[in-house]
Each structure stands twice: as structure tokens, then as C-alpha cells.
């Protein structure tokens, strides 16, 4: 029957289309990521400057993705940016871990890098990072470099502009 062949081909076509939609949602978009952090806990990291960090950006530890940035707000009392980080349940963070806003590659996106501490206790839901490191703002870095040049070629980051922790080297 000719109409049977038509039905089969249409069925095949619709399956193919739905498979493509499935790939787009699960493989291409961030939908799968958001769903796997449903089971997790939220910790807060306050930064002086978050640079270009966005909601949805990854939270990594030792290069492994452990969660994502759920929300970013400005604390009106301390004037610091508070980022709520949603971390998967399976990853435990020592209580004295530190968080830093880092950039992947030279022009890549910004993410939160978490360095492990030595404490035996782990962070709970709602805990805050004690040690944080803000985003490196290029202008500040250049300004810092210029001041240190002006101060007599003492290369090596003496001035600490804008409360930035000094980078390891220029």
C-alpha cells in the first residue's frame, strides 16, 4: 500500500524531528545542567567585584564543574556583590574553602573557582565563604602596573588598588 509507506515516512520524519529537539534541549542547551543541580545546596560568596560573572555561570573545583551561579545581588550595607552558588549534593566543600572569580582562557567566560580548605567540617546550606577573590579588572591591573612603574620601576605589585588581592605576578 502506498499510503502505508507515506505514514511510515512521516512517522520517521516526526521521530527524527523529536530526536533533534531532544538533542537541542539536553545536549546543546543548559537545561540539563540546571536540572542536575536541583539536588544540591546553596552557599554564598561575597565579592568586592564580580566583573562579568553572570547568573548560570559554572562553579568549578580543580577544573571539575560542581555547580552554577544561581543568583547575584548587591548587598546594600556592605556594597559587595553576593553570589549564591548552587552546588551539587555529591560535592562536599570544606568549611574554609575559598572562592574566586576567574576567567577561562584569555577572552573566555568568567566562572567561580573554588579552592579547597583544610577544615574537617563541610559547608552547609546558606554558609558563606570566608575568603574570596574578586575578578581581575583589566583597568585596575594596568593602573596598578602604571603606579608601580611610577614608584621607581619596582615591578612586583606593591600598591593594592581597590581592595584587590595582589595577583601572583604582573
Partner 1 sequence: MTTMQRGFNTATGWMADLGRGAIFLMRILFSLPGLILKPRLLIEQIYSVGVLSLVIVVVAGVFVGMVLALSGYRLLVGFGAEEALGTSVALVVVRELGPVVTGLLFAGRAGSALAAEIGLMKATDQLSGMEMMAVDPVKRIVAPRFLAGVIALPLLTSIFCVMAIGAGGGYFVGVDMLGVDAGSYWSGIQSNVDFGEDIINIFLKSGVFGAIITWVAVYQGYHAPPTSEGVSRATTNTVVIASLAILGANLMLTAVLFGSH
The window from 11-19, 36-44, 74-82, 135-143 that contacts partner 1 (CB under 8 A) reads: 11-19
- Could you give the CA distance from residue 60 to residue 119 in angstroms, rounded to a whole number? 19
Q: State the DSSP code for 163.
A: G
Coil, strand or helix at 95: coil
Strand ranges across the sheet with 58-61: 40-47, 80-88, 64-75, 58-61, 110-115, 98-103, 131-133
Task: Give kind and range of the element (H or E) at residue 100.
Answer: strand 98-103
Mark residues 117-156: x for contact with partner 1 by CB under 8 A, - for none: ----------------------------------------
Tell whether residue 14 is a contact of partner 1 (CB under 8 A). Answer: yes
Binding-site size, partner 1 (CB under 8 A): 35
Mark residues 36-75: x for contact with partner 1 by CB under 8 A, - for none: --------------------xxx------x----------
Q: Which residues pair with 110 in a beta bridge?
A: 103
Q: List residues binding partner 1 (CB under 8 A).
A: 3, 6-7, 9-10, 12-14, 16-21, 23-25, 27-34, 56-58, 65, 104-109
Amino acid at each position: 500500500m502506498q499510503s502505508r509507506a507515506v505514514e511510515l515516512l512521516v512517522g520517521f520524519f516526526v521521530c527524527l524531528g523529536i530526536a533533534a529537539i531532544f538533542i537541542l534541549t539536553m545536549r546543546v542547551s543548559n537545561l540539563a545542567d540546571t536540572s542536575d543541580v536541583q539536588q544540591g545546596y546553596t552557599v554564598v560568596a561575597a565579592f568586592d567585584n564580580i566583573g562579568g560573572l553572570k547568573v548560570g555561570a559554572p562553579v568549578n573545583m580543580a577544573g571539575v564543574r560542581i555547580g552554577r551561579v544561581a543568583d547575584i545581588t548587591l548587598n546594600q550595607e556592605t556594597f559587595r556583590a553576593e553570589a549564591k552558588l548552587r552546588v551539587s549534593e555529591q560535592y562536599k566543600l570544606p568549611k574554609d574553602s575559598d572562592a574566586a572569580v576567574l576567567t577561562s582562557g584569555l577572552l573566555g567566560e568568567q566562572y567561580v573557582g573554588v579552592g579547597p580548605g583544610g577544615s574537617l567540617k563541610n559547608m552547609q546550606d546558606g554558609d558563606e565563604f570566608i575568603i574570596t577573590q574578586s575578578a581581575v579588572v583589566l583597568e585596575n591591573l594596568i593602573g596598578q602596573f602604571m603606579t608601580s612603574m611610577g614608584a621607581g620601576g619596582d615591578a612586583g605589585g606593591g600598591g593594592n588598588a581597590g581592595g584587590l588581592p595582589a595577583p601572583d605576578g604582573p
